Amino acid sequence: MFSKPGSGPAVLRKVTQEASKVDPAKRRDFLKKGLMVAGGAIAGTQFASTLHASQNNLPPNLPEWSKSLGAGVITNPYGKPSPFEGDIVRRTVPWLTADRIAAISFTPLAELDGIITPSGLVFERYHAGVPTINPDEYRLMIHGLVERPLVFTIDDLRRFPSTSAINFLECPANGGMEWRGAQMDALQFTHGMISCCEWTGVLLSTLLEEVGIKPEAKWILAEGSDGAHMSRSIPIEKALDDTLIVYAQNGEPLRPEQGYPVRIFNPGWEGNTSVKWLRRLEVGDKPWYHREETSKYTDLLADGRARKFSYIQEGNSVVTFPCPERPLKEKGRYELEGLAWSGNGKIKRVDVSFDGGVNWQQARLKGLVLPKALTRFSLDFTWDGSPALIQSRSTDETGYVQPTYTQLREARGSSSIYHKNAIHTWRLHADGTVTNVQIS
Amino acid sequence: MTPALAETGAYGIGSPATAEEIAGWNIDIRPDGKGLPPGSGSVEDGEMMYEQQCASCHGSFGEGVGRYPVLSGGEGTLTEERPEKTVGSFWPYASTLWDYIHRAMPFTQPQSLTDEEVYAITAYVLYLNDLVEDDFVLTADNLASIEMPNQDGFFLDDRPDTNNTGCMENCKDPASVKITSEPTMTTLQVEETVAAVEAAPEGGEKVYQQACLMCHGAGVAGSPMTGDAAAWKDRIAQGRDKMLSNAINGIGVMPAKGGQGQLSDDEVASAVDYMIRQVTQD
């Protein structure tokens, strides 16, 4: 199927062109089969010689690339992935929003390894597009219930002692379109509003000490400088805890898409509270109840009441292999993999089921297990060709066990939009393909 | 330049924020009215301003155009299958409305409204939601006293609210496991995804996406929809110079340069050429 990176877009174009001629009722099946035969469909084309293993380049022959020199140093002063990996990109779902300016894109989770999301693949969420900010003209203002209101340049911020932390960044609407039923047929879209980077900056508590907060200070308003000037109220307890004023992402200056040159970052919390393109922090004694914490980012329950200030992103997990983008080609041994995370601390364990939650096996936690960060889990299994309903279920260090859809809907109804962290099911078909389903 | 010692903290980093600097950015409004600038605005004045500045996205009655937010209606729907959350049916405070309109609207030209205009438009939106009468005048003094219907509809986070167990074996009856839902929009999704994965847009397309797509992409407010040859026929007949002039100077409801005044004329031209190509090339 997507057997060779780079062939993806071309394959999809051909298949969907054909699919549009097919009776809508049969389109889904056509698409599935179409993708499978696409390998054959492109065999005779120009792609074939470059993307399908050409006999000429296999042992005992000498491949093309071994017979000559390649590009020299700084041909790409800022390096990019191999063109053969051109399929690994952010994507958007156009029907989710009115335009591409106040919109969202998704991280290609299926194609990533480890727990760090490369900066260029971190999902985007904008309310007024990305502003172009000259770092020399950037200022962070802190005022309100303080002894000394101050304005900082980037150089000023970098002079304070810095801290680094590896934390996930998740939009609370991650998976939100599936509260009522399965809608997306790719891992990128079911769970892609999440990333995990190393964030470097100065602790907000250090800056608050520098301005001297008054005893009656209880809340901070964080405000951005893009056209939307997004604003959120943050309790002083969090502000004095692990909240960071960030200027670097994965070792280099914060990316424009993630808030260059400076953002606030609240580990484990709704991504929307980590205001990008930060311009102002006001210290106050009451919350402001602005639009992004009333109209939006509140969770409507079945009884008509709505939860406000639901800051924490609770424990969650998803299997990343197998998944729709990564089907199984044959029977045999595999290493199932997935990601788990919790805004309440470390992941303690992850369990995996192949029968829709009747029986579970404990998975292995792999690599770094950090608080409020993506955590890899894996499980060896042998596929005998039978259909399966694959699930993962995380437990975090507080003992919180990831809920089922039934439990979530019982507690909240289906209109919350945000904070959907239900156990997710992939349906593995006998032909090795994987689709998104919800089960009872 | 070293600030006076009393003006710095322990590290001595940063410059004192002057009252003038603070005043320029200190735009937040609280439910108790703190932060509201002096001023007032009437529903009557707000109607015309709303029609000019807001209706093209939000609809003349706040009904929402395309996927842009619905502002009015939805009373009593919060417990229904498809709740309609609007200013009147859901928002707890009127201050949020004033604050948001002032800081972020209109969409293409944020913070371009005067305080008086914000008062008037806020009054009108409240009127659209049947929260004030048509002769109402909104002021810095009366805003905080407006009671919103859903004021008491919110409560503090009390999660966790589920208690799943770590059951490992025979956790449910296998016969009860049934598929209850599957996606129905695979093909549409894939086609749209392909569109999004096309090669990085060239200059004209990039400007188009930034400045033009939000209206022309869906034909909002009577604008000719991109790719709709019939809609563009008469415009193209007027010639490129005229189309360019309309785009640069604005025409009808369309603001100059799509509201993106920072674009150069050349950049606008590249976007116009892009849109022309969508209806002339195969």
Judging contacts by C-beta atoms under 8 Å, the chain A residues touching residue B67 are: 97-98
Q: How far is A360 from chain B (nearest CA, A)?
A: 5
Mutate to test the interface with A, among B21, B25, B156 (most CBs of A within 10 A): B25
A128 contacts B159? CB cut-off 8 A:
no
Q: pLDDT tens digits, residue range A193-210? A: 999 999 999 999 999 999
How is residue A125 annotated by DSSP? B
Q: What angle do CA A107, B159, B71 make, to 5 degrees?
A: 65
- pLDDT of A98 reads 81
If asked whether residues A203 and A300 sit together in one domain, one would say yes
* Structure confidence at residue A148 (pLDDT): 96
Predicted local distance difference test score (pLDDT) of residue B280: 87
Query: Which of the listed residues B123, B145, B167 is the one where a domain comes to its end?
Result: B145
pLDDT score recorded for residue A14:
47
In a domain, A396, yes or no: yes
Q: Residue B132: which CATH number?
A: 1.10.760.10
The last residue of one of the domains, among A274, A307, A340, is A307
Q: Which helix (H) or strand (E) holds A14?
A: helix A8-19
The backbone torsions φ and ψ at residue A355, rounded to the nearest 5 degrees and listed phi first, read -125, 35
Q: Are residues A274 and A209 in the same domain?
A: yes
Distance between CA B136 and CA A48 in Å, rounded?
71
Burial class (CB in 10 A: 0-12, 13-18, 19+), A180: middle
Between A240 and A24, the higher pLDDT residue: A240
Of A152, A228, A412, the CB nearest to B110: A228
- CB-based contact B192 A94, cutoff 8 Å: yes
- Kindly list the residues from chain B whose CB atom is less than 8 angstroms away from the CB atom of residue A12: 190-191, 193-194
Question: Is the residue at B187 inside a domain?
Answer: no
A61-78 average pLDDT score: 94
**Per-residue pLDDT at B281:** 78
* pLDDT class of A99 with cuts at 50, 70, 90: confident
Q: How do residues B199-230 score in pLDDT, each as one tens digit?
A: 455 678 888 877 788 788 877 777 899 999 99
Do A127 and A253 fall into the same domain?
Answer: yes
B5 pLDDT above the threshold of 50: no
- The whole-number pLDDT of residue B67 equals 85
Check whether residue A164 and residue A266 sit in a common domain.
yes
A1 inside domain? no
Domain holding B258, by residue range, is 200-280
Does A277 share its domain with A152? yes
Same domain, A170 and A291: yes
Find out whether A244 and A206 touch, Cβ atoms under 8 Å: no
Predicted confidence (pLDDT) per residue in A321-374, tens digit: 999 999 999 999 999 999 999 999 999 999 999 999 999 999 999 999 999 999
* Model pLDDT, residue A397: 98
Top-confidence residue, B6 or B259: B259
Model's pTM, two decimal places? 0.85
pLDDT at B256: 85
Q: Which residue of A151, A209, A435 is in closest CB contact with B17?
A: A151
Q: Is A158 at the interface with chain B, CB within 8 A?
A: no
Cβ-Cβ contacts under 8 Å, A355 against chain B: 174, 177
SS3 A21: coil
Tokens of A364: 């292995």
Q: How far is CA A284 from the centre of its chain?
A: 32
Do A294 and A363 reside in the same domain of the chain? Answer: no
Q: Indicate if the pLDDT at residue A47 is higher than 50.
A: no
Q: Is residue B152 part of a domain?
A: no
What value does the mean pLDDT of chain A take?
91
Last residue of a domain, one of A62, A85, A108: A85
Please tell me whether residues A287 and A321 are part of one structural domain.
no
Give the separation between CA A323 and CA A424, rounded to whole angstroms.
11
User: Quick one: three-class SS letters along chain B?
Assistant: CCCCHHHCCCCCCCEECCHHHHHHHCCCCCCCCCCCCCCEEEHHHHHHHHHHHCHHHHCCCCCCCCCCCCCCCCCCCCCCCCCCCCCCCCCCCHHHHHHHHHHHCCCCCCCCCCHHHHHHHHHHHHHHCCCCCCCCEEECCCHHHCCCCCCCCEEECCCCCCCCCCCCCCCCCHHHCCEEECCCCHHHHHHHHHHHCCCCCCHHHHHHHHHCHHHHCCCHHHCCCCCCHHHHHHHHHCCHHHHHHHHHHCECCECHHHHCCCCCHHHHHHHHHHHHHHHHCC
> B7: pLDDT confidence band, cut at 50, 70 and 90?
low
Smallest CA–CA distance, residue B212 to chain A, in Å, is 10
Kindly state the average pLDDT of the residues B14-30.
97
Given pLDDT bands bounded at 50, 70 and 90, which one contains residue A22? low
Is residue A295 a part of any domain in this protein? yes
pLDDT band at B252 (very low <50, low <70, confident <90, very high): confident
C-alpha dist (Å) from residue A101 to A121, A129, A291, B209: 18, 5, 18, 8
| A28 sits in which H/E element | helix A24-41
Q: In the structure, what pLDDT confidence band is assigned to residue A41 with cuts at 50, 70 and 90?
A: very low
Residue of A80, A99, A153 for testing the chain B interface, max B β-carbons within 10 Å: A99
Task: Give dist(CA A250, CA A131) in Å, integer.
Answer: 21
Q: What is the pLDDT of residue B211?
A: 79
- Is A129 found in the same domain as A274? yes
Beta carbons of A2 and A11 less than 8 angstroms apart: yes
Instruction: Examine the domain organization and report whether A154 and A253 are in the same domain.
Output: yes
In chain B, the number of structural domains is 2
Instruction: Give the pLDDT band of residue B185 (cuts 50, 70, 90).
Output: low
Chain A partners within 8 Å of B153 (Cβ): 304-306
Stretch B159-172: mean pLDDT, rounded?
Answer: 97
Would residue B160 count as lying in a domain?
no
Instruction: Tell me what pLDDT residue A52 has.
Output: 58
A323-334: per-residue pLDDT in tens? 999 999 999 999
CA nearest to B3 within chain A? A150
Q: Rounded mean pLDDT of A387-410? A: 98
Cis-peptide into B160, omega within 30 deg: yes
- Across residues A270-293, what is the average pLDDT? 98
B188 contacts A228? CB cut-off 8 A:
no
For residue B180, the chain A residues in CB contact (below 8 A) are 181, 437-440
* pLDDT (mean) for B228-250: 92
According to the model, what pLDDT value does residue A23 have? Answer: 53
B129 and B212 assigned to the same domain: no
Total Cβ atoms within 10 A of residue B58: 23
Q: Which residue has the tokens 């992850």?
A: A350
- Show the DSSP H helices in A66-186 as ranges: 154-159
Which residues of A are less than 8 Å from B164 in CB distance?
393, 401-404, 407
- Return the bridge partners of A248, or none: A200, A253
Predicted confidence at residue B186, as pLDDT, reads 55
Domain assignment present for residue B175? The answer is: no
CA pair distance A229, A252, nearest whole angstrom: 25
Q: Please tell me the predicted confidence (pLDDT) of residue A26.
A: 53
Considering its fold, how many domains does chain A have in total?
Answer: 3
Which of chain B's residues have a Cβ under 8 Å away from the Cβ of A412?
A: 161
Q: Which residue in the block uniquely carries the two structure tokens 């995804």?
A: B193
Q: What pLDDT does A150 receive?
A: 98
Q: Can you give the pLDDT at residue A33?
A: 47
A214 versus B1: the higher-pLDDT residue is A214
Residue A29 has pLDDT above 80, yes or no: no
Residues of A with Cβ-Cβ distance to B9 under 8 angstroms = 147-148, 150, 209-212
Under 8 Å CB pairs connecting chains A and B tally to 290
Residue type at position A211 = V
Q: Residue A44's pLDDT band (boundaries 50, 70, 90)?
A: very low
C-alpha pair distances (Å), B85 with each of A128, A302, A305, B71, B107: 22, 14, 12, 8, 20
Residue position matching structure tokens 């059951």: B167
**Which of these three, B145, B179, B211, is where a domain ends?**
B145
Residue A19 lies in a domain: yes
Mean pLDDT of chain B: 89
Say whether A262 sits in a helix, a strand or coil.
Answer: coil
Q: Which residue has the higher pLDDT, B258 or A435?
A: A435
Within a domain: residue A405? yes
> Which of B28, B99, B172 best probes binding to A when mutated, by most A CB atoms within 10 angstroms?
B28
Distance from CA of A362 to the nearest CA of B (A): 9
Find where tokens 């009655």 sit: B61
How do residues A286-307 score in pLDDT, each as one tens digit?
999 999 999 999 999 999 999 9
- Asked if A127 and A102 touch (Cβ cutoff 8 Å), the reply is yes
Please tell me the number of Cα atoms within 13 Å of A205 on its side-chain side: 10
ipTM for the whole complex: 0.87
The angle subtended at Cα A128 by Cα B146 and Cα B268, nearest 5°, is 130
Chain B touched by A13 (CB under 8 Å): yes
User: Among residues A40, A69, A85, which one ends one of the domains?
Assistant: A85
CATH code of the domain covering residue A376 = 2.60.40.650
Q: Is residue A423 part of a domain?
A: yes
The answer to whether residues B141 and B204 belong to one domain is no
Higher pLDDT residue, A391 or B211?
A391
Domain boundary among B145, B166, B189: B145
State whether B116 and B206 are in the same domain: no
Query: Residue A14: which domain range?
Result: 8-85
User: pLDDT per residue over B88-147, tens digit each?
Assistant: 999 999 999 999 999 999 998 999 999 999 999 999 999 999 999 999 999 999 999 999
Determine what percent of chain B is predicted with pLDDT higher than 70. Answer: 90
Domain presence at residue B177: no
Separation of alpha carbons A110 and B217, rounded Å: 31
Give the helix, strand, coil percentages of chain A, each rounded to 5: 25, 30, 50
Query: Is residue A78 located within the same domain as residue A150?
Result: no
Q: What is the mean pLDDT of residues A58-68?
A: 93
Query: What local confidence, expressed as pLDDT, does residue B207 receive?
Result: 86
Pairing of strands A140-144, A278-284: parallel
Q: Which residues contact B244 (CB under 8 A, 6 or more apart)?
A: B265, B268, B269, B272
| Helix-helix angle B115-128:B94-104, to 10 degrees | 130
DSSP for A352-420, written as a single string: EESBSSSS-EEPEEES---TTS-EEEEEEEEE-S--EEEEEEEEETT-PBPPPHHHHHHHH-S---S--
pLDDT surpassing 60 at residue A15: no
pLDDT value at position A232? 98
- Asked if residue A268 and residue A136 are part of one domain, the reply reads yes
Q: Within a domain: residue A94?
A: no
Long-range contacts of A36-42 (CB under 8 A, 24+ apart): A36/A1, A36/A431, A36/A433, A38/A1, A38/A11, A38/A14, A39/A1, A39/A3, A41/A11, A41/A14, A41/A15, A42/A7, A42/A10, A42/A11, A42/A14
